Structure 1
Amino acid sequence: MKKKLWFYLWIAVTSYMAGPVMYALTMYTFYQETDALTTSLIGWTTATFSSVGILFILVTVILLRVLHIYYFWLQTLLFELLFLVFVYMTTVLLGVGNTRLPSLSFPFTSEGIPLWMFWGSIALMSSWGIWSARQPIRKSPYMLASRVILILFILEIWPR
């Protein structure tokens, strides 16, 4: 496997790990919850990201390159908007009693903010990683941040 493909795999894995880390930090900061991550949250969001999330990212990057408007902030904005769909879908997938999509103001509610941080941080880390993969001299800050995310993720899910 080429070195660049390994880097894209690293981007996918550490970008996903940013979500649970930010979710746990948000839950602790706003609600003083220490055990906010559940296996169902990790399971459903991992499946969603590894199937539909990566597809969204791939299609967005290809579309931006074909249209010759491939800019970091535009890519990040599109990722954030696409991943906002997952904020709404997570409540349905987790089966918290909702059989329909929540209201449009859901990301601004007390239940929606942690999910928005979850998916928003994944979108931001994915965008930054893909952008840094195309800029070989700018990989070091991303690699440092992704290693910190990896350590925080391990510390968060490690059984106490």
Structure 2
Amino acid sequence: MKKSDLIYIWVLISSYCAGIVTYTLSMFLLYNEEVSDWGQLITWTAPTFFTVNLLLFILSIFFLKLINKYFFWTQTILFAIVAIIPVYIIPFLSGFFNFANISFPFTQEGFLFYLFFLIAALVSSYGIWVAQKRLNPKSFLLVSFVILIFLIITIILNSTIESELPLTWQLAFFYLEQKGYSPEQLIKVQGTYSSKSSEALYGASVTFADELEAKYQYIIFNNGEIKQYSHTSDDPKHEEPMVR
């Protein structure tokens, strides 16, 4: 393997890490939420980035060279434009097929993925330009080093917050396996608060696909029992006997 090939590999890895950092920080800053399953996020994004995105980058460079318009700014703009394409693949990888429509990148969930692929594309454009023009790679290495530092800090902070609100995905598992809800029906389960009761330490907020504007609050008891606490729906479709 040539040294130049290693540079391209490092560019892609650094760009992907930049996407992870962007997704995590955006989720926290925009929606005050944390990543509850890193493995799931990687499963949804890594195959797409290292296959579809890589192919789009290659085709973009080939197209710009073909029309004799290969400049850093044209490459960056084209990379940013095509970054929306892999967003449409996420619903299929995640199993949320009801999200597979043209408006998905403009939803709350889809916008986070677009930011992921957009920032990853911008970092890729800079790194690929440095490699293509055989420029001094020190500047990009510095950028990638900063990205890795932010990634480590983000993981540590997210893990600290996550440890205070576990059982979020246990609640999702409970619904899927015990109550018969499919991934298309149960689109979001997010830990939101801690109960002061010694019998029920954790709670979660649930959003259903047929009531996107409503949230259902549930309490998770220490014995694994889950009961509805409240909801914000005027015409609830998933109302259950509530705990008071």
Within 5 Å, which residues of 2 pair with 1:29-108?
29-36=29-36, 38-98=38-98, 101-104=100-103, 106-108=104-106
**Mapped pair 1:156 → 2:149:** no
**Number of residues paired by the alignment?**
158
Contact 1:24 1:37 in 2 (8 A): no
TM-score (norm 2): 0.58
Give the SS at the match of 2:85. Answer: helix
Contact 2:44 2:93 in 1 (8 A): yes
Within 5 Å, which residues of 2 pair with 1:120-135?
120-135=118-133
Q: Deviations over 1:86-145 (max 9, x none)?
A: 1122123211242x62233x3333222211110101111111111122344453332211
Identity across aligned pairs (percent)?
37
Q: Distance in 2 between matches of 1:64 and 1:31?
A: 37
Contact 2:19 2:120 in 1 (8 A): yes
Q: In structure 2, give the amino acid aligned to 1:143.
A: L
Q: Which deviates more, 51-60 or 134-143?
A: 134-143
Contact 1:27 1:114 in 2 (8 A): yes
Is there any run of 5+ residues in structure 2 with no aligned partner, and where?
Answer: 161-244
Q: Which deviates more, 115-124 or 56-65?
A: 56-65
Corresponding position of 2:115: 117
Shift of 1:74: 1.4
Q: Distance in 2 between matches of 1:134 and 1:20?
A: 25
Give the SS at the match of 1:35. Answer: coil
Q: Which has the higher contact order (CA 8 A, sep 6+)?
A: 1
Q: In structure 1, give the amino acid aligned to 2:93.
A: L
Flag the structure with higher strand content: 2
Give the SS at the match of 1:111. Answer: helix
Contact 1:53 1:83 in 2 (8 A): yes
Contact 1:14 1:149 in 2 (8 A): yes
TM-score (norm 1): 0.86
Is there any run of 5+ residues in structure 1 with no aligned partner, and where?
Answer: none
**Cα distance change, pair 149–135 in 1 and its aligned pair in 2 (3 A):** same
Flag the structure with higher helix content: 1
Contact 2:52 2:86 in 1 (8 A): no
Q: Distance in 1 between matches of 2:116 and 2:37?
A: 11
Q: Distance in 1 between matches of 2:62 and 2:29?
A: 37
